[in-house]
Amino acid sequence: MQKLKYFIACLLMLSVIAVRAQGSKHTFELADSAFMLDGKPFQMISGEMHYPRIPREAWRARMKMAKAMGLNTVGTYVFWNVHEPQKGKFDFSGNNDVAEFVKIAKEEGLWVILRPSPYICAEWEFGGYPYWLQNEKGLIVRSKEPHYLQEYATYIKEIGKRLAPLQVNHGGNILMVQIENEYGSYGSDKEYLAINQKLFKEAGFDGLLYTCDPPADLVKGHLPGLLPAVNSLDNPAKVKQIIRENHDGKGPFYIAEWYPAWFDWWGTTHHTVPAAQYTGRLDSVLGAGISINMYMFHGGTTRSFMNGANFKDNTPYEPQISSYDYDAPLDEAGNATAKYYAFRDVIKKHLPAGQTLPEVPAKKPAISIPDIKLTSSSAILSNLPAPKNSLDALTFEDLHQPYGFVLYRTKIQGGKTGTLRLAGLRDYAVVMINGKRVGMLDRRLNQDSLSLTLPKGPITLDILVENLGRINFGKYLLQNKKGLTGEVSFAGRKVQHWSMYGLPFDNVNTIKYAASAPNKNQPVILKGKFDLKTIGDTYLDMQNWGKGVVWVNGHNLGRYWKVGPQQTVYVPAEWLKKKDNDIEVLELLNPHKTISAISTPILDKLQ
């Protein structure tokens, strides 16, 4: 009898748990003019922020800032090349734990708009595609080509395993899921879009799916039957008109990307837009009951080598900077800007009756570090791995190397003057003769040739090539290989017999240093240590340096380049400690023995 009672009690407990779990589920549906959350009209006031661009340790703090500005939702892309860096090898750890990002949002009272399209654009390397897709014979991204669809399906199923259970109809906080991304700006194949929808459903995304496109391309990029969201447009009447025209005369109405500012690329002016130009527009959009996603609410930083680039016919190649500050309401370090407070005041006017906003969290402390000594150095040419040899120069993709640098080395006969030509240079080259730098070539400036006078005898020619970021938008997605992608010639004769040294710099712990002055004639890595009395955000001042990459405590903080407009490198407080901080600097052009950090960023200085 006791066993029977125990068994019945267990069944009752399980029933209660099941009922509670079922009760935690929500409904999110489309009405003719509004989104309906649990049967009641719901206006999304959303802001975009990307988990790889924010230290994991700071995700929750950024969410609190979103809530305090009046957002009820956050949007994020999902980044294929972050999660499957090499074919079949998936990574959802650390800063890649997108499921945890979504769960933290729920804990902070925020809904999520998820954008896991294999193509994201996002000013991100290759538009989010993993580099290795280019090694798959015949594969064509954003197409019905079978091999692409096979890799796509494998990826989206892995994403679905982790994120589909977090949809609102399963008790989670993901309201909607976007298929593809601004496809109308690229193509118009409705059958391809339908395949996207099918793959998403097979991956478990069984809630609301939608598409988004700029107004001029919405007809091409919209899949009938799904909600068409519009990007960039913020005239309420026009937003409603274009969505109704493509959705059986109905809403609801959603601006999937509303731009309060813009991004930057190397060598051009920092983009800023005063809040006053947008507060009236925001007021009118919210007043019209239209849902909105600010792109970006908080940009953060594009660390490692993950920035993308723009390139069109008859325009320069434009690699984006590491700072993704974006002149957004929340700055690169996560602090409220004047734009934040201006938008907050607008949002307050449109809150449901009786609802108030949390207090804005205090500004994060920032520190300066006047003098960090770089006591060790390592010349790149003295720290090379085993080479791969080939008659002709191989691309990064041929070498199965995603990012970073490759050193190309060969021997040529000296005693002559001629032009060194690197056809198809992708993207920046430091040229050295017998270990001494003799010039640089920059794809941004359409440079691929250098006049050289060689000393007599056998000459060692070294060409250090940097991948500055694969194109993330447009037709040139299909022409995105890196390194020396064409013929190399000197004085009109083809140069062959190359040794290639991969330098991905994905693990700086293996670098061997010496306590010696840096060699200013060739690229060098420098290392130092520093202690702190107090911990805070800081910005490495790189104005007097040349070009390179910085690591602090093993974290790749991104690129710097004297051309600007970015002159500082953001160091998050979350990645600092009071004792024994390590700093490593890869400098291509102008090394120094000390480095300093300041308490405010410099993002608007061209040199």
**Positive/negative CA dihedral, 106, 107, 108, 109:** positive
Phi, psi angle pair for 365, to nearest 5°:
-70, 145
Return the pLDDT at 518: 77
Question: Which pair of tokens denotes residue 560?
Answer: 């710097």
How far apart CA 437 and CA 429 sit, in angstroms, is 11
Q: Please identify, among 477, 503, 529, the residue that sits at the C-terminal boundary of a domain.
A: 503
Q: Does 422 fall in a domain?
A: yes
| pLDDT tens by residue, 204-248 | 999 999 999 999 999 999 999 999 999 999 999 999 999 999 999
Q: Please identify, among 455, 476, 503, the residue that sits at the C-terminal boundary of a domain.
A: 503
Residues 118 and 200 both lie in one domain: yes
Beta strand residue intervals within 454-604, DSSP E: 458-466, 483-484, 488-490, 493-494, 498-503, 524-530, 538-541, 547-552, 555-561, 568-571, 581-587, 594-598
How buried is 114 (Cβ within 10 angstroms: 0-12 exposed, 13-18 middle, 19+ buried)? Answer: buried
Question: Which pair of tokens denotes residue 569?
Answer: 């490198």
Chain-wide mean pLDDT for the chain? 95
> Hey, which residues are catalytic here?
182, 257
Residue type, 189: D
Residues 460 and 564 both lie in one domain: no
Residue 137's pLDDT band (cuts 50, 70, 90): very high
We report the CATH number of the domain holding residue 480 as 2.60.120.260
Residues 390 and 339 both lie in one domain: no
Q: Does 607 fall in a domain?
A: no
Asked whether residue 298 carries a pLDDT value surpassing 50, the answer given is yes
How far apart CA 122 and CA 167 sit, in angstroms, is 23
Whether residue 252 has a cis bond before it, omega within 30° of 0: yes
Residue 6's pLDDT band (cuts 50, 70, 90): low
Q: Does 522 fall in a domain?
A: yes
Residue 314's pLDDT band (cuts 50, 70, 90): confident
Percent of the chain residues past pLDDT 70, beyond the cut: 96
> C-alpha distances in angstroms, 266 versus 86, 308, 319, 607?
28, 11, 6, 11
Residues 499 and 519 both lie in one domain: no
Domain that holds residue 249: 41-348
How far apart CA 475 and CA 500 sit, in angstroms, is 29
Query: CB within 8 A of 129, min separation 6: which ones?
Result: 80, 81, 118, 119, 141, 477
Task: State the chain's maximal CA–CA distance in angstroms.
Answer: 102
Residues 550 and 418 both lie in one domain: no
Residue 20's pLDDT band (cuts 50, 70, 90): very low
Residues 431 and 551 both lie in one domain: no
Q: Report the predicted TM-score, pTM, of the whole model to 2 decimal places.
A: 0.94
Asked whether residue 89 carries a pLDDT value surpassing 50, the answer given is yes
Return the pLDDT at 2: 60
How far apart CA 173 and CA 179 sit, in angstroms, is 18
Residue 21's pLDDT band (cuts 50, 70, 90): very low
| pLDDT tens by residue, 343-382 | 999 999 999 888 999 999 999 999 999 999 999 999 999 9
Residues 373 and 392 both lie in one domain: no
Asked whether residue 15 carries a pLDDT value surpassing 80, the answer given is no
User: Residue 362 gets which letter from DSSP?
Assistant: P
**Interval 315-325 mean pLDDT:** 97
Residues 176 and 277 both lie in one domain: yes
Return the pLDDT at 520: 85
Q: Does 354 fall in a domain?
A: no
Report whether 33 contacts 60 (CB < 8 A). no
Residues 497 and 517 both lie in one domain: no
| pLDDT tens by residue, 23-72 | 468 999 999 999 999 999 999 999 999 999 999 999 999 999 999 999 99
How far apart CA 109 and CA 88 sit, in angstroms, is 35
Q: Does 489 fall in a domain?
A: yes
**Interval 241-261 mean pLDDT:** 97
SS3 content of the chain, % helix, strand, coil (to 5): 25, 30, 45
Give the residue among 11, 173, 43 at the shortest CA–CA distance from 108.
Answer: 173
Pick the more confident residue, 145 or 2.
Answer: 145
Return the pLDDT at 10: 47
Q: Does 27 fall in a domain?
A: no
Q: Please identify, among 503, 531, 555, the residue that sits at the C-terminal boundary of a domain.
A: 503
In order, the DSSP letters of 424-441 are TEESEEEEEETTEEEEEE
Asked whether residue 13 carries a pLDDT value surpassing 60, the answer given is no
Query: CB within 8 A of 24, min separation 6: which ones?
Result: 171
| pLDDT tens by residue, 506-534 | 999 889 898 877 788 999 999 999 999 99
Domain count across the chain: 3
We report the CATH number of the domain holding residue 134 as 3.20.20.80
Question: Which pair of tokens denotes residue 533?
Answer: 């009395």
Residues 570 and 455 both lie in one domain: no
Question: Which pair of tokens denotes residue 509?
Answer: 């712990």
Residues 373 and 423 both lie in one domain: no
| pLDDT tens by residue, 430-478 | 999 999 999 999 999 999 999 999 999 999 999 999 999 999 999 999 9
Report helix angle 98-107 to 146-163, nearest 10. 40
Q: Does 30 fall in a domain?
A: no
Return the pLDDT at 516: 74
Return the pLDDT at 1: 52
Q: Does 176 fall in a domain?
A: yes
Of 6-15, 68-77, 90-99, 183-192, the range with the lowest mean pLDDT is 6-15
Residues 208 and 303 both lie in one domain: yes
